[in-house]
Amino acid sequence: MSWTLYRHYKGNHYLRLGVAAHSEDLSPQVVYRCLYDNPEARTWVRPQPMFDGVIADGRQRFTPVGRLRLVQPEDMRTVLAFGYDAWKHDKTFDQYCAAKDSDPHHQRGTRYLLEDVAGQSVAALNVLRFRESLIGFASVATSPEQRGKGYASLLLRAVMELHRFAQPDLRFLLFSEIKPAIYERLGFRVLPPEHQHFLPTPAMATGDTPLSIVEAEFLKVYF
């Protein structure tokens, strides 16, 4: 499965979910999702010729900027290389990969990969579904050559909106190994001290309501 990411000519990013048929004339309608906080709506529909078309000055209305897809077995060494410099713990790369292959925690979850418009793998993450309305993110990493370009944030937001499209009331959890402000821009907040079990790596979550007792339990054994 894969989904294309676009930049609108005004600058915002969108995730194309698919094409639907209009109920009256069967004309193709592109269904797409905002990758930013839009107070009017998150999910939009536009006739496919308009979505794929150009504006008055000849520019594309929506320009492809990348592709989101599920990680396949043949992608794993590429994905592991993204975080190797931070998580290698004095292992060679082959040793690091072998350790991950035998780690049951590493085998959990569903991994997503972001490719740029040229098809180059640039960022990846792992989605852990703890319960119906609670999802954790782990192993968020960007290719060393592509860091500082916003790919990890774009990937996170795309995966969040993909899951929110199916279930709007989701809460997301993660542990920040980078500046929390980067995740705060995506709607995460640093949790209160009673939920911090792995400092100096702070636990963060989306949503304004306090964690429930059940949600808080997952943070104690997150990895």
Which residue segment(s) compose the domain that 166 sits in?
71-220
pLDDT in tens, 48-97: 999 999 999 999 999 999 999 999 999 999 999 999 999 998 999 999 99
CATH of the domain at 169: 3.40.630.30
Residues ≥6 apart with Cβ < 8 Å to 72? none
Of 65, 100, 118, the position where a domain reaches its end is: 65
**pLDDT (mean) for 12-20:** 97
Q: Which pLDDT value is given to residue 105?
A: 79
Helix (H, G, I), strand (E, B) or coil at 107: helix
Same structural domain, 42 and 97: no
Q: Which helix (H) or strand (E) holds 131?
A: strand 121-131
Domain boundary among 65, 91, 111: 65
Question: What pLDDT digit, counting tens, does each position of 154-176 carry?
Answer: 999 999 999 999 999 999 999 99
> What pLDDT was estimated at residue 223?
58
Q: Does residue 220 carry a pLDDT above 90?
A: no
Q: What pLDDT is recorded for position 82?
A: 96
Has residue 179 got a pLDDT over 80?
yes
Counting the structural domains of the chain, the total is 2
Helices 76-87, 93-101: inter-axial angle, 10-degree rounding: 110
Which SS3 state, helix, strand or coil, does residue 37 take? coil
Q: Determine the average pLDDT of the residues in 133-160.
A: 95
Residue 222 has pLDDT above 80, yes or no: no
Question: Which amino acid makes up residue 183?
Answer: Y
